[in-house]
Structure 1
Amino acid sequence: MAPYEPEQDTSETGEPRVGRRKAARYVVPIAVAGVAAATIGLVPALATSGDPDLPKISAQQLIEKIAASDTQQLSGNVKISTDLGLPSVGGLAGGFAGGGGSGGDGGEQGKGSAADPKSKLMELASGTHTLRVAADGPDKQKVSVLEDAAEYSLIHNGDDVWAYDSASNEAYHAKDAGAGAGEHRGKGADKGAKGSDEVPATPKDFAEQALKAVDDTTSVKVDGTAQVAGRDAYRLVVKPKQSGSTIGQITVAVDAETGTPLKFTLTPASGGAAVVDAGFTKVDFGKPAASTFDFTPPKGAKVTEADDAERGAHLKGKDQGGKAFKEDAAGGLDGLNVIGKGWNSVAELKLPGGKGLPTAGSGDVPPDAQKLLDSLGDRVSGKFGTGTVFSTRLINALVTDDGKVYVGAVTKDALVKAASR
């Protein structure tokens, strides 16, 4: 059996995926960026109980098995970790999305609910989280994010989507699956309650995004077997053939019986711990109890209706000029240009207003703040003029002084070269 990269420790979780459609528009639309978009990374090594002896299968056959997988019912735990080398962005992301933190005053006051999925689930973009998931067909899903002394749950049951944050005793309600928390798309209960184009949160979500990048710039092979969450699995390894990518390889453990991805690991070309590691630690493909998807707000809980929350966010944005900013930003992203192909794709777009980062010279920021900003990035120059490159373990972004942005899962040198084309 061919050697394979050690699995990273996963030990608890479930399967969800909720988020805000618009939040995803700020994620780089690169071929493999579904992986990057995210912005999700996971934990250390998952112990396996030996390599099961399974029938031989080709990479093409295994990919077809994943595509044909139509798991309608399941429950279990998922541990998901993201290590982009950045601090937690949950609260910050929520602020940009228009959501609020604990103790918000509700939609009519222009403040979001602490239970609003738009902001809450963005916390999965960094650190390590344990999820408990359950699904029963396309109309019933539940995902719970387990915290030290609290729990956040997102429940989709028919036309109702409920989110509840036990820490603040706040609930968020949307009357239909498309109104805020999770519009179902595609077949298979394993897709969970989700919006279209949000941050991936389960092994299958990640695997689907990664396999979209498979083309003649990609090496794909079956590299051994493993056991994940007590299930026999094949190990599919996907690597870029091109030089210049920050992605080393992607390993997907695929359930031998159902074709459901059980674990996803993305390691950077620079080596070290995985950038993203998401895997089941426990999974059951039986039908969950019907009561799993029932929800009634606890006594005394503050309930925010999705329509009220959106109305409050609109008023807040109007008062602060936020609406105009969001419209400009959306327009800029809609007109983005993609440079290159495959794993070396780079997204090019313009900042709202056509201006670069504020500088001390322009009087927009204090000198001390300028020093801090400069310390976070590297100054570069090329045919594009001058700008600053900001780096994570997976994504590099170049912001030029004239207001253009180049982003990709490529090295700094490859990014500067693309911008200087």
Structure 2
Amino acid sequence: MNKRKASLAAAAAGVVAGAAGLSLLAMPAGAGQPPSLPDVSPESLVEQVLTSKPGAFGGTVEVDNQLGLPAIAEIPQLADGKHSARVWTDGAGKVRLALPNGQSEQTIVSDGTTTWSWNSVTNKVTKAEGKTEQPEEAKAIDPATAAKEIVGLTKEFSDISVDGTARVANRAAYELVLTPKASEKTLVREVRIAVDSELKMPLRVAVLTNGTAEPAGTVGFREINVGPQDPKLFEFTPPANAEVTTPEAEKGERGERPEAGLEQALRGENPQVFGSGWDLVVGARIPADAMTQVPAEAQGLVDRFTKKVSGGWGSGQLFTTKIATVLIADDGRVVAGAVPEQVLFDTIGQVK
């Protein structure tokens, strides 16, 4: 299995945004007049995106969901609207995130060898030892990571152009545009990536879908402070009376829950990948015991936001947003992608 393809399948299928948490897409337009910059070729901007290695900075990243979903009390972050996070990095592997959620906040701190995650409501701390990559939460709100994955996997299947300039977080940027070729079967009309003219790093990624004028989702910087950050930001001491646990212990707890198999399948941890480019589809099979033991509350959410469908492939439930479609068959097969439903109907028979 190609891990890189699988990661984009999860990213591009923003459901996989829906099922896993937050989609990777969404962001506010830059303010002010477009800056005057020297001409640059699309090929040059593509290379900058693919080789981007951001240095030290601190800033606020904003995610703007416009997927067409109503507010869901149980999953507030999936509702349309803007959500923000603070991020700091030393450019050499250390990172700090502050992720607000209503009255609570999750803080994640990594010094490159130990990663701490603290929930202010539960006062629970997870400590992961050993050299770590960028935390998954940081990847989810990082325009550079999103842009690199999208460009790397779709540039062969896209018409690529430069559509002028923009200001993002008060910085001058070029607008790189990837438009799926006419042969691609996708819900996506185009992806716009604002590339900083000086830093050569993506500042914003916006995804537009067929039949809409505004982005279905965007992720990008609202403000950014480039340069060395306070070293103390990358230190963490658990608060008094906090419960400290490990990822292994948490994984064990998740494994005991009957819905764990369902979550694993939808999160794309063991995906099967079909096709390539914009009409790439990720598939999985939910274990039979998970299908029969899904809690009533979780099943109720599925029933509220899906429609029943059937065909030569069998029967199941279809979940749609502006940017992605998910098909869950009654026998446990699941397929998802940034594609029309017919593509999923044609693909699900290949899931093993």
TM-score tier, shorter chain, comes to 0.7 to 0.9
Q: Given the alignment, which residue of 51, 74, 92 partners 1:138? A: 92
Let me know the Cα RMSD of the aligned residues. Answer: 3.9
Aligned to 1:82: 65
Aligned to 1:395: 324
Deviation sequence 1:59-117 (CA, Å, 0-9, x none): 1111112233322211111111233344678977xxxxxxxxxxxxxxxxxxxxxxxxx
Aligned to 2:245: 305
Amino acid at match of 1:281: R
1:393 CA displacement: 1.9
User: CA 1:82–1:28 in 2, change beyond 3 Å: closer, same or farther?
Assistant: farther
Aligned to 1:404: 333
Aligned to 2:47: 64
Structure 1 contact 40–125 (Cα < 8 Å) conserved:
no
| 1:76 match: secondary structure | strand
User: CA 1:209–1:381 in 2, change beyond 3 Å: closer, same or farther?
Assistant: same
Q: Given the alignment, which residue of 171, 192, 195 partners 2:125? A: 171
User: How many Å separate the matches in 2 of 1:410 and 1:123?
Assistant: 23
Q: Does 1:287 align with 2:216?
A: no
Q: Does 1:204 align with 2:147?
A: no
User: How many Å separate the matches in 2 of 1:164 and 1:76?
Assistant: 20
User: CA 1:383–1:340 in 2, change beyond 3 Å: closer, same or farther?
Assistant: farther
User: CA 1:233–1:32 in 2, change beyond 3 Å: closer, same or farther?
Assistant: farther
User: CA 1:376–1:228 in 2, change beyond 3 Å: closer, same or farther?
Assistant: closer
Structure 1 contact 164–171 (Cα < 8 Å) conserved:
yes
| 2:232 match: secondary structure | helix
Q: Does 1:341 align with 2:276?
A: yes
User: CA 1:252–1:328 in 2, change beyond 3 Å: closer, same or farther?
Assistant: closer
Deviation sequence 1:184-223 (CA, Å, 0-9, x none): 2xxxxxxxx314x986211112101211222442111111
Structure 2 contact 118–125 (Cα < 8 Å) conserved:
yes
Amino acid at match of 1:399: I
| 2:154 match: secondary structure | coil
Structure 1 contact 83–276 (Cα < 8 Å) conserved:
yes
Q: Given the alignment, which residue of 270, 287, 306 partners 1:352? A: 287
Structure 2 contact 94–112 (Cα < 8 Å) conserved:
yes
| 1:258 match: secondary structure | coil
Count of aligned residue pairs for this structure pair: 339
Structure with greater Cα Rg: 1
Structure 2 contact 208–215 (Cα < 8 Å) conserved:
yes
Q: Higher strand proportion, which one? A: 2
Structure 1 contact 31–212 (Cα < 8 Å) conserved:
no
Instruction: State the TM-score, normalized to the length of structure 2.
Output: 0.79
User: CA 1:373–1:207 in 2, change beyond 3 Å: closer, same or farther?
Assistant: closer
Query: What 5-or-longer segments of structure 2 have no aligned partner?
Result: none
Amino acid at match of 2:285: K
User: CA 1:198–1:249 in 2, change beyond 3 Å: closer, same or farther?
Assistant: same
1:405 CA displacement: 2.2
1:240 CA displacement: 1.1
Matches within 5 A, 1:245-256: 245-256=186-197
| 1:212 match: secondary structure | helix
Structure 1 contact 40–81 (Cα < 8 Å) conserved:
no
Structure 2 contact 50–152 (Cα < 8 Å) conserved:
no
Deviation sequence 1:208-256 (CA, Å, 0-9, x none): 1211222442111111101111111000111211353111211110000
Structure 2 contact 279–337 (Cα < 8 Å) conserved:
yes
1:343 CA displacement: 1.0
User: CA 1:273–1:258 in 2, change beyond 3 Å: closer, same or farther?
Assistant: same
Greater shift in the superposed pair: 285-294 or 78-87? 78-87
Amino acid at match of 1:173: K
User: How many Å separate the matches in 1 of 2:73 and 2:93?
Assistant: 28
User: CA 1:90–1:162 in 2, change beyond 3 Å: closer, same or farther?
Assistant: farther
| 1:224 match: secondary structure | strand
Q: Does 1:48 align with 2:47?
A: no
1:40 CA displacement: 2.1
User: CA 1:284–1:124 in 2, change beyond 3 Å: closer, same or farther?
Assistant: farther
Structure 2 contact 107–119 (Cα < 8 Å) conserved:
yes
